[in-house]
Amino acid sequence: MQIPYEVSPRRDTGLFNSKLGVWLFLASEVMLFGGLFSAYVFLRVGIRDGVDTPWPWGIDVHGKYVFAGFINTLVLILSSVWVVFAWVALKERNWRKFQLYMFGVVGCAAFFMCVKALEYNSKLTKHHGIKLTDNAVLEGKIVNGTSMLDFEATEVSVNLLGGIPAIIRDLDSDAVFTVEWKGGTVELKGPGQVRSWFLRARREARRGLVKERKRYRNELKSDPATAQPVSVTTSATLVAAEPVAIRPGGRIMASYSDTSVSYRDGTTVTGTLQRDGIEFELHQINMQLVMLQSQRDSMAWEVIGDESVKDQFFAEQDKAYKKLRKHYGEKPVPEHMLRSHIINLHDVHLGDHGDHDGKKDHDDSHAGLEVHDSTVREAAGGGGGKGETIVIPREKVRFFGSHGPRYGNYYAIYFTITALHGLHVVGGAIVLLYFAVFGRKLFLKNPEHLANRVEVGGLFWHFVDLIWIFLFPLFYLL
């Protein structure tokens, strides 16, 4: 059976089937991205300076990747032009020219995704933030893997009814444990044997629990007064032959002390805490959520332990305040200017004991003012103190993490929209590549049919380009 209007347009709409279908699909895509963009805008305009979690500015967050995003914009625009040229080549019945342009489009998509991968890697692995218990935020980089604890375990208690314990991933291959099981002592070497033993022990524990529950139900039916409660061993303790070094991270760890660590999956580790401090390469200090009159007594200065850093921070505030007073003249400074991010977020340099202009003119009553200037900070990597680190005790930390989706609303929406857009880029590139590699048979049979397919793919590709044109200024420039 021949499906009508695959090549020729319908009389009522003037469109062939696939073109009508892609317009309907793109309408649903507009609603999807429109909802995400709207959520971003409403969250951003609802932020109260100095009250809610600070909303970062794109040019400060993305640093050098603002220029990379601009290059990506040009690349996508070029690819949209080439996909039109590829369609024109099909209309001219020039297969080689069509392939050349289509391979160029796919190459642009690959370049775009490589740049995004570099940017994602930078945010997820090289840039971190630590929020202290008084809401001061330190921006920089966690070094030497100190986001995880250093702990020496002597005993590990596992829940035999739960999932595979996360601690198994932390064990070295030379770790040796003994455990009492089935009336004897079993020796386990390395994470592989521990995992295999746990799976067997869990099956035995679950079978025992089923038998006990069955026994208990039968006793309740026969004589409820003498029924014995269900009793099954649901935990086991692994004893280390020698102390085993483990490094639990914050996502799998519920709590810890000097002698024990509790995992979220119910595993409890007994031993000795070796180090709980976070080694941090400090780049910036953000005081937006610290009361203005409390900034000089912030916990940040105690944690940093370098008076020169404190001097740098307040010297920068003085400079900003003087510019602001000059800007407003006799008018009072608005409250939102007192709490905004530029004056409360400054680059600092550990060990810099140089003089700072404006330090002696500082007025505490006006600390925390905003000034708009042409200076662009690279909050994601441009500060000082590279090579020098501080150690931050975990008990003084409220939250820490990389600049990933967990770091705040901005990053959650940024990664959601950019990753979704990236999936559209990959999907569109795969379809267009399929036309260029496997479309020759259809080209020889019915070149107009292939041209229609490429036209529909090109419409989708133009939509992907248009989404990025909106996305780039919204996230990278504002």
Contacts of 448 (CB under 8 A, 6+ apart): 7
Q: Are residues 423 and 394 in the same domain?
A: no
Q: Residue 16: what pLDDT?
A: 60
Within its chain, how far is the Cα of 259 from the centroid?
Answer: 32
154 is in which domain, residue-wise? 150-276
Q: What are phi and psi of 180, to 5 degrees?
A: -80, 120
Q: Are residues 111 and 210 in the same domain?
A: no
Q: Are residues 203 and 220 in the same domain?
A: yes
More confident residue, 7 or 52: 52
pLDDT one-digit tens code per residue, 318-371: 888 888 778 888 887 777 777 777 778 888 888 765 554 444 444 443 333 333
What is the C-alpha to C-alpha distance for residues 149 and 155, in angstroms, rounded to an integer? 17
Domain total for the chain?
3
Q: Are residues 283 and 390 in the same domain?
A: yes
Q: Report pTM.
A: 0.77
Q: Are residues 81 and 170 in the same domain?
A: no
Given 354, 372, 402, the domain boundary residue is 402
What is the C-alpha to C-alpha distance for residues 460 and 426, in angstroms, rounded to an integer? 12
The reply to whether 6 falls in a domain is no
Burial code (b: 16+ CB inside 10 Å, e: under 16) for 328-350 equals eeeeeeeeebbbbbbbbbbbbbb
Residue 372 pLDDT exceeds 50? no
pLDDT one-digit tens code per residue, 116-158: 999 999 999 889 999 999 989 999 999 888 888 889 999 999 9
The residues that bridge with 186 in the sheet, in sequence order, are 179
pLDDT one-digit tens code per residue, 168-193: 988 888 899 999 888 889 999 999 99
Given 276, 307, 342, the domain boundary residue is 276
The reply to whether 193 falls in a domain is yes
Q: Are residues 117 and 76 in the same domain?
A: yes
CATH number for the domain spanning 444: value is 1.20.120.80
With H, G, I as helix, E, B as strand and everything else as coil, classify residue 197: helix
pLDDT one-digit tens code per residue, 56-72: 777 777 888 899 999 99
Residue 234 pLDDT exceeds 60? yes
Q: Are residues 393 and 346 in the same domain?
A: yes
- The dihedral sign for the CA sequence 302, 304, 305, 311: negative
Given 223, 258, 276, the domain boundary residue is 276
Q: Are 119 and 65 in contact (CB under 8 A)?
A: yes
Q: Residue 386: what pLDDT?
A: 54
Query: Residues in the chain, how many?
Result: 478
The reply to whether 62 falls in a domain is yes
Q: Are residues 293 and 259 in the same domain?
A: no
Q: Are residues 340 and 364 in the same domain?
A: yes
